[in-house]
A and B are shown apart, each in its own frame.
Chain A
Amino acid sequence: DVKVTQSSRYLVKRTGEKVFLECVQDMDHENMFWYRQDPGLGLRLIYFSYDVKMKEKGDIPEGYSVSREKKERFSLILESASTNQTSMYLCASSWVRSGYEQYFGPGTRLTVT
């Protein structure tokens, strides 16, 4: 079974703090993704990585950065957390050859106060 794990299920941070969300996959997938999920908006892509140290901006990259130093690990960084970044964050991974089939982690519910 493919497993995508995220470092925290729930996180509460203060405005201005630097926040790290980590994701690890165990299927040797080339692609990894970070999404945020908000009610009525579906899933929106923040960043995508197709290889180690390679990244591309998604639809809503402002206020976020990412790091992929190892193939299995993809980190999302909020440089200076703001209240409008309160959301559910989902990590996903996939093979290059079947990009439509993404495997998701359980999500991290981040609250910024």
Chain B
Amino acid sequence: QQQVKQSPQSLIVQKGGISIINCAYENTAFDYFPWYQQFPGKGPALLIAIRPDVSEKKEGRFTISFNKSAKQFSLHIMDSQPGDSATYFCAATGSYKLIFGSGTRLLVRP
């Protein structure tokens, strides 16, 4: 299976709160799991990525948690800020090809 399932479709969080976006995959051949961030009018940009031999990766306020046995991974945004309002895509790859989730539109209220 090539799908990557992402939830929720949209998310509203108060400033300072934690935003959590979840993804699940089926193909155990995937070997890299990036997250992309897209602001309105812009193309997606790589935010953070993790390999399946690591359970957690943190970069600033952004953390990926990875559960290999459950074939799930999630993005946590700590201390969410209005500037984090964007669409977030999880993805998975085992080669050149990225398989994207359907996206989560995050709105952080001031």
Contact = CB atoms under 8 A, between A and B. Distances in A.
A100 B32 contact: yes
Name the residue among B93, B98, B101 with the largest chain A CB count within 10 angstroms: B98
A106 B44 CA distance: 8
Contact of A106 (B34, B41, B89): B41
B108 to A, nearest CB: 20
Interface in B79-110: 89, 91, 93, 95-98, 100-103
A107 B87 CA distance: 15
A102 B89 contact: no
Contact of A104 (B41, B43, B91, B96): B43
A48 B34 CA distance: 19
Interface stretch (A12-20, A38-46, A67-75, A76-84): A38-46
Interface residues of B, number: 22
B97 A107 contact: no
B107 to A, nearest CB: 16
A102 B95 contact: no
B9 A40 contact: yes
B49 A101 contact: yes
Contact of B102 (A42, A92, A104): A42
Name the residue among B44, B45, B103 with the largest chain A CB count within 10 angstroms: B44
B96 A94 contact: yes
Contacts of A43: 44, 89, 98, 100
A58 interface: yes
Interface of A: 4, 31, 40-45, 48, 50, 58, 90, 92, 94, 96, 99-107
